């Protein structure tokens, strides 16, 4: 199996009032294509930080991050933006939909950066929304949807571009049990049926059960499973 | 869906806030338009003067008269092509509040020296023939619904008594800024009566208007005219019509300068208002900009998104404002007594400056939000709590 994500000796610090706060310490990690990885660990251990580095929305202080054969730590700002659009789907804890756009428009958003025609975009958006079971909510605004439905729209937005990897930061963190389990079933399906590589941060041991591998992060270091 | 749609949806996310901002821009543009109109009118009434006309008046003050005998003397100076004179009659037409210039002139020469007052040859002929006739500007005719043959009676103040006139002609202005609000009649008619009623005031005129062949010689000819009457009982002061007009409105000059500054200060204020709206909106959307960046939207996209919104709001407010300037200026013109401003209309330059201001406001207001949105890192954007 070949590793689609390679994190090599990564250090990450934040600076607050010129005091260095080390978050990740010499962290290395490989994720194989088609894997569903759950990242667990206490609050403040650096899970979100690691996920952001893998997804290319933040840069390591030191070390390499290679995703699908690209060393993204070496890309400049605009190539990195382009790379994200092409390769990564994001799911956040708080859904992060644009409130003035309908479900359809939110899912269409990443496709505006592609060369797809309006008709092609429509086909993709409708497919993505039907995968998450919301084909009948196209014209609803986020505030007209339940939390679980909002998160499903967010997942549709994450998969509509058919990204190389899917990253999810506590996707069930803000949901009730039933909605959470629907989301997890969906993630599982995306992994098994659509062969998506998924890295998911979660606090919830139940959520982690769906994953094919679990890793624990503690004080910026991975500890054995 | 296109970026444009998102711009539109963003702009009207807080409908009340956006509508108030638009209303603010509208009012500012109208105020700007009105002030600029007054300023340009003042400028153009000075511009309406002719470079080839000199005004000769009494040296001590404009209110003191000059002997009518000066006409021939001035005419004899080399380079002078024509000389006419006028006297400020004032008087009251029907009501004290009816402002418009009423002047007694030398009918033989007046319209030759003022070619911008266009009058039908036959009407002019009739005017010259009938001693108690008058010519009025088209604006006056329209406002008081007067036509040729109608009587006009003035209650004299400087020249006491009742004065009856008959309208022999109506003149039009050659240019848009030509004064069409004057009432012009025979100096002789006034003078004949003064000879009888108040002989010491007979044979006096208010000022001379001297037409010269070469505008470049205005300084020399002015000097020659004044030299002619030096050490006489009525010394003169001669200057170009333009200089004269500027003196005449000098006191209003300060107000006009203030208006000039004010008109641009208003644009400055509205810029702060729009900038404030934009900064508030952009701040609330910190997280959304982080989302868009995460999805791969570039600096260019955010730039277009924010600038577009700022320009959209400015343009809506600005276009409503500009389209309202015309009826409002017209309303002012109708509400104001004739003669305070001889003409009142929106100059194209005013509209030009209004448009420039709107674009300027749109751009400047977007600067801070754009700078902020682009410099905020994605991870910080997500951690931002409004
Ligand atoms: N943008 C930032 N600026 C400064 N410090 C940060 C930033 N992001 C994270 N940190 C700090 O880095 C550490 C790790 O944060 P991170 O968000 O990765 O933790 P986490 O494991 O995701 O925690 P949680 O489970 O609460 O989400 C924390 O101490 C946090 O305060
Ligand atoms: Mg986290």
**pLDDT tens series, chain B, 386 aa:** 578 888 999 999 999 999 999 999 999 999 999 998 888 877 766 666 677 899 999 998 888 999 999 999 999 999 999 999 999 999 999 988 888 899 999 999 999 999 989 999 999 999 999 999 999 999 999 989 999 999 999 999 999 999 999 999 999 998 877 889 999 999 999 999 999 999 999 999 999 999 999 888 889 999 999 999 999 989 999 998 888 777 666 556 678 788 889 999 999 999 999 999 999 999 999 999 999 999 999 889 999 999 999 999 999 999 999 999 999 988 887 776 655 565 677 888 889 999 999 999 999 999 999 999 999 999 889 887 76
- Is A131 domain-assigned? no
| pTM for the full predicted model | 0.73
**Domain extent for A19:** 3-96+164-223
Chain A residue at shortest CA distance from B300: A78
pLDDT per position as a tens digit, B335-361: 766 555 656 778 888 899 999 999 999
Closest CA to ligand 1's atom 29: A44
Asked if residue B184 and residue B217 are part of one domain, the reply reads yes
Q: Are residues B40 and B85 in the same domain?
A: no
Q: Has residue A26 been placed in a domain?
A: yes
Q: Which of B234, B268, B302 is the last residue of a domain?
A: B234
As for how many domains chain B has, the answer is 2
Q: Do A81 and B296 touch (CB under 8 A)?
A: yes
A194 occurs within a structural domain: yes
Return the best residue to mutate from A16, A17, A23 for the ligand 1 pocket (most ligand atoms within 8 A of CB): A23
Atom of ligand 1 nearest to the CA of A58: 1
Q: What is the pLDDT of residue B249?
A: 62
Distance A44 CA to ligand 2 centre (A): 7
> In this structure, is residue A112 part of a structural domain?
no
| Residue B34 in domain | yes
Determine whether the shortest distance from the Cβ of B383 to ligand 1 is under 6 A: yes
Is residue B176 domain-shared with residue B148, that is, in the same domain?
A: yes
Q: How far is the CA of A158 from the centre of ligand 1 (A)?
A: 23
Cα–Cα distance between A175 and A156 in angstroms, integer?
Answer: 17
Whether residue B135 sits in one domain with residue B262: no
CB A223 within 8 A of CB A46: no
Indicate whether B40 and B129 sit together in one domain.
no
Ligand closest to Cα of A21 equals 1
Domain-terminating residue out of B202, B234, B266: B234
By C-alpha distance, the chain B residue nearest A89 is B295
Span from the CA of A21 to the centroid of ligand 1 (angstroms):
10
User: Within a domain: residue B282?
Assistant: yes
Q: Which of B234, B269, B292 is the last residue of a domain?
A: B234
Cβ–Cβ below 8 Å for B295 and A113:
yes
Kindly state whether residue B92 falls inside one of the protein's structural domains.
Answer: yes
Mutation pick for ligand 1 pocket among A44, A167, A218 (CB with most ligand atoms within 8 Å):
A44
Q: Is residue A32 part of a domain?
A: yes
End-to-end CA distance of chain B: 28
* Minimal C-alpha gap between B318 and chain A (Å): 25
Q: Which of A32, A98, A89 is nearest to A56 (CA)?
A: A89
Q: B63: Cβ below 6 Å to ligand 1?
A: no
Same domain, residue pair B166 and B267: no
Q: What are phi and psi of B71, to 5 degrees?
A: -55, -50
**CB spacing of B10 vs A100 below 8 angstroms:** yes
Residue A68: CB atoms within 10 A of its CB come to 19
Q: What is the pLDDT of residue B382?
A: 87
Are residues A112 and B9, on separate chains, in Cβ contact within 8 Å? no
Question: Is this prediction's ipTM beyond 0.90?
Answer: yes
Give the distance from residue B288's alpha carbon to the nearest chain A alpha carbon, in angstroms: 7
For A98, name the nearest residue in chain B, comparing CA atoms only.
B288
Is residue B380 lining ligand 1, measured as CB closer than 6 Å?
A: yes
Q: Is residue A141 part of a domain?
A: no
Q: How far apart are the first and last CA of chain A?
A: 21
Domain identity same for B77 and B119: yes
Considering only CA atoms, which residue is closest to atom 10 of ligand 1? A14
Structural domains of chain A, count: 1
Same domain, B67 and B203: yes
**Residue B245 belongs to some domain of the structure:** no
Sequence-distant contacts of B195-199: CB under 8 A, at least 24 apart = B197/B161
B36 and B69 in a common domain: no
pLDDT in tens, A176-192: 888 888 888 988 988 99
Domain span including residue B267: 2-46+253-383
Residue of B nearest to A50 (CA): B379
pLDDT at A28 over 60: yes
Neighbour-count burial of A169, counting CB atoms closer than 10 A to its CB (0-12 exposed, 13-18 middle, 19+ buried): buried
A19 touches chain B (CB under 8 A): no
> Which pLDDT tens digit goes with each residue over B31-83?
999 998 888 877 766 666 677 899 999 998 888 999 999 999 999 999 999 99
CATH number for A188: 3.40.50.300
Phi, psi of B231 (to 5 degrees): 65, 10
List all residues 6 or more positions away from A191 whose beta carbon is below 8 Å from its beta carbon. A34, A36, A197, A198, A212
Determine, yes or no, domain membership for B240.
Answer: no
Count, in order, helices (H) and strands (E) of chain A. Answer: 7, 10
Q: Are β-strands A88-91 and A165-169 bridged in parallel, bridged antiparallel, or unpaired?
A: parallel
B52 within some domain = no
CB A15 near ligand 1, within 6 Å: no
Residue B186 lies in a domain: yes
Please, which residues bridge with residue A37 across strands? Answer: A199, A213
A220 CB near ligand 1 (under 6 Å):
no
Position B243 in a domain: no
In a domain, A107, yes or no: no
The verdict on B221 and B147 lying in the same domain is yes
């Amino acid at each position: 199996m070949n590793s689609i994500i390679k994190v090599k000796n990564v250090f990450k610090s934040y600076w607050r009032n010129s005091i260095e706060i080390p978050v990740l310490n010499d962290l290395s990690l490989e994720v194989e294509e088609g894997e569903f990885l759950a990242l667990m660990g206490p609050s403040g251990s650096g899970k979100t930080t690691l996920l952001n580095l893998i997804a290319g929305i933040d840069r390591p202080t030191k070390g390499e991050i290679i995703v699908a054969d690209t060393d993204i730590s070496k890309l400049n700002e605009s190539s990195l933006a382009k790379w994200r659009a092409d390769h990564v789907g994001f799911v956040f804890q708080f859904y992060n939909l644009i409130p003035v756009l309908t479900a359809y428009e939110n899912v269409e958003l990443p496709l505006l950066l592609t060369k797809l025609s309006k008709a092609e975009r429509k086909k993709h958006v409708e497919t993505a929304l039907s995968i998450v079971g919301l084909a009948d909510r196209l014209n609803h605004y986020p505030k007209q949807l339940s939390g679980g439905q909002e998160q499903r729209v967010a997942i549709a937005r994450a998969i509509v571009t058919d990204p190389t990897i899917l990253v999810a930061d506590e996707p069930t963190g803000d949901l009730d049990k039933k909605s959470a389990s629907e989301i997890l079933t969906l993630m599982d399906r995306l992994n098994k049926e659509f062969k998506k590589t998924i890295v998911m941060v979660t606090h919830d041991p139940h959520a982690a059960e769906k994953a094919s591998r679990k890793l624990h992060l503690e004080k910026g270091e991975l500890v054995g499973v | 869906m296109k970026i444009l749609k998102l711009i539109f949806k963003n702009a009207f996310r807080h409908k009340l806030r956006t509508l108030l901002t638009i209303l603010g821009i509208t009012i500012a543009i109208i105020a700007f338009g009105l002030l600029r109109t007054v300023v340009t009118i003042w400028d153009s009434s000075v511009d309406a003067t002719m470079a080839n006309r000199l005004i000769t008046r009494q040296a001590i003050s404009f209110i003191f008269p000059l002997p009518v005998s000066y006409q021939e003397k001035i005419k004899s100076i080399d380079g002078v092509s024509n000389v006419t004179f006028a006297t400020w009659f004032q008087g009251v037409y029907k009501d004290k509040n009816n402002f418009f210039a009423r002047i007694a002139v030398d009918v033989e020469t007046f319209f030759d020296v003022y070619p911008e007052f266009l009058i039908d040859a036959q009407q002019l002929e009739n005017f010259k023939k009938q001693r108690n006739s008058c010519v009025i500007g088209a604006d006056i005719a329209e406002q008081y619904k007067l036509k040729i043959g109608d009587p006009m009676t003035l209650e004299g103040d400087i020249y006491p008594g009742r004065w009856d006139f008959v309208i022999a002609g109506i003149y039009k202005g050659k240019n848009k800024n030509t004064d069409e609000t004057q009432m012009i009649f025979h100096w002789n008619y006034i003078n004949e009566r003064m000879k009888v009623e108040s002989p010491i005031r007979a044979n006096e005129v208010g000022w001379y208007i001297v037409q010269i062949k070469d505008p470049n010689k205005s300084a020399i000819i002015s000097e020659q005219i004044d030299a002619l009457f030096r050490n006489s009982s009525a010394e003169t002061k001669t200057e170009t019509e333009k200089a004269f007009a500027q003196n005449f409105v000098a006191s209003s000059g300060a107000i006009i300068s203030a208006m000039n500054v004010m008109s641009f200060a208003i644009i400055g204020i509205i810029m702060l208002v729009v900038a404030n709206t934009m900064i508030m909106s952009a701040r609330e959307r910190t997280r959304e900009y982080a989302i868009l960046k995460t999805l791969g939207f570039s600096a260019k996209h955010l730039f277009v998104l924010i600038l577009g919104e700022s320009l959209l709001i400015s343009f809506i407010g600005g276009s409503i404002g500009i389209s309202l300037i015309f009826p409002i200026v017209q309303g002012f013109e109708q509400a104001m007594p004739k003669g305070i401003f001889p003409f009142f209309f929106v100059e194209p330059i005013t509209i030009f400056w209004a448009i420039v201001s709107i674009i300027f406001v749109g751009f400047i207001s977007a600067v801070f939000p754009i700078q902020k949105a682009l410099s905020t890192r994605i991870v910080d954007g997500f951690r931002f709590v409004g």
